[in-house]
């Protein structure tokens, strides 16, 4: 989890971009890196495999203020999308503070999305992390493609919600990012469920990239406050 550097007066937070192969994780990070001020970012490191790259870099946002006198430095990572790199995926999740799941909106990639989402839950559980209790945001990428699945189908498959057991939290909570929707709501069957915030994205053009990053960053900061 987050680490404090007293010498530089910084809190270091780790955000991992997870998802199926070629879904847009790398494109998200490359876009962010290209837009962040050069003097506030570290070096972009790329570890290449035969089919994909694992990227990571750190940056210090100038507009987020301080927490108890400390600035917050975010370290962004992608994981390899291919299943046979699972050991690397798991290692990168160690000490994570926030997760972004980048789903591929193409209809024919639905099974790969679901497999990757289940793999995320499994790997988090191996560390004793509960994905429903840490900052978690979903991005549906490639929304510009003609074969993109409808949002309700993606939500049903990848973000159906988890049951809210705490009676104190069993009340409607509006979704601040999607007008007319709730993050916490009661189903017709009576159960209360909570869903992760989600965003539509076209990472190759930058659409939705910073909306996603801002949302997960705010959730991480909320856990530190």
Q: Which residue has the higher pLDDT, 191 or 4?
A: 191
- Could you tell me if 176 and 111 lie in one domain? no
Residues 202 and 181 in one domain: no
Give CA separation, 191 vs 31, 132, 165, 170, in Å: 39, 16, 9, 9
Task: Examine the pLDDT at 137 and tell me if it is beyond 70.
Answer: yes
Mean pLDDT of the chain: 92
Same domain, 79 and 178: no
Judgement on whether residues 33 and 94 belong to the same structural domain of the protein: yes
**Residue 105 maps to which CATH number?**
3.40.50.300
Question: Do residues 178 and 112 both lie within one domain?
Answer: no
Does this model's pTM top 0.75? My answer is: yes
Q: Are residues 147 and 181 in the same domain?
A: no
Q: What is the pLDDT of residue 127?
A: 94
The percent of residues in the chain predicted with pLDDT above 70, rounded, is: 94
Q: Is there a single domain that holds both residue 118 and residue 201? A: yes
Predicted confidence (pLDDT) per residue in 183-204, tens digit: 999 999 999 999 999 999 999 9
- Please give the residue range of the domain that contains residue 65: 3-159+196-224
Distances (CA, A) of 87 to 93, 94, 198: 10, 11, 27
pLDDT tens column, 57-110: 888 886 666 677 888 999 999 998 776 678 888 989 999 999 999 999 999 999
Q: Nearest 5 degrees, angle CA 8-CA 35-CA 69?
A: 25
pLDDT given at position 88: 84
In this predicted structure, the answer to whether residue 33 has a pLDDT above a threshold of 80 is: yes
Q: What integer pLDDT is reported at residue 224 of this predicted model?
A: 87
Q: Which residues contact 2 (CB under 8 A, 6 or more apart)?
A: 11, 12, 13, 14, 97, 220, 224
- Does residue 5 surpass a pLDDT of 90? no
Q: For the chain, how many structural domains are there in total?
A: 2
Give the pLDDT band (50/70/90) at residue 20. very high
The larger pLDDT score, comparing residue 70 to residue 161, is at 161
């Amino acid at each position: 989890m987050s680490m404090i550097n007293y010498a530089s007066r910084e809190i270091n937070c780790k955000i991992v971009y997870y998802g199926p192969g070629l879904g847009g994780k790398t494109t998200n990070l490359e876009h962010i890196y290209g837009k962040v001020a050069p003097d506030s970012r570290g070096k972009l490191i790329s570890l290449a495999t035969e089919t994909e790259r694992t990227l990571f870099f750190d940056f210090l946002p100038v507009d987020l203020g301080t927490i108890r006198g400390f600035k917050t430095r975010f370290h962004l990572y992608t994981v390899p999308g291919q299943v046979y790199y699972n050991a690397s995926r798991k290692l990168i999740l160690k000490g994570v503070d926030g997760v972004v799941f980048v789903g591929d909106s193409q209809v024919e990639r639905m099974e790969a999305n679901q497999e990757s989402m289940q793999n995320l839950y499994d790997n988090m559980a191996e560390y004793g992390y509960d994905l429903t209790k840490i900052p978690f945001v979903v991005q549906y990428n490639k929304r510009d493609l003609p074969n993109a699945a409808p949002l309700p189908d993606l939500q049903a498959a990848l973000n159906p919600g988890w049951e809210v057991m705490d009676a104190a939290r069993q009340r409607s909570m509006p979704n601040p990012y999607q007008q007319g929707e709730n993050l916490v709501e009661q189903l017709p069957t009576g159960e209360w469920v909570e869903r992760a915030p989600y965003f539509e994205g076209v990472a190759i053009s930058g659409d939705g990239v910073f909306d996603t990053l801002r949302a997960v960053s705010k959730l991480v900061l909320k856990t530190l406050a």
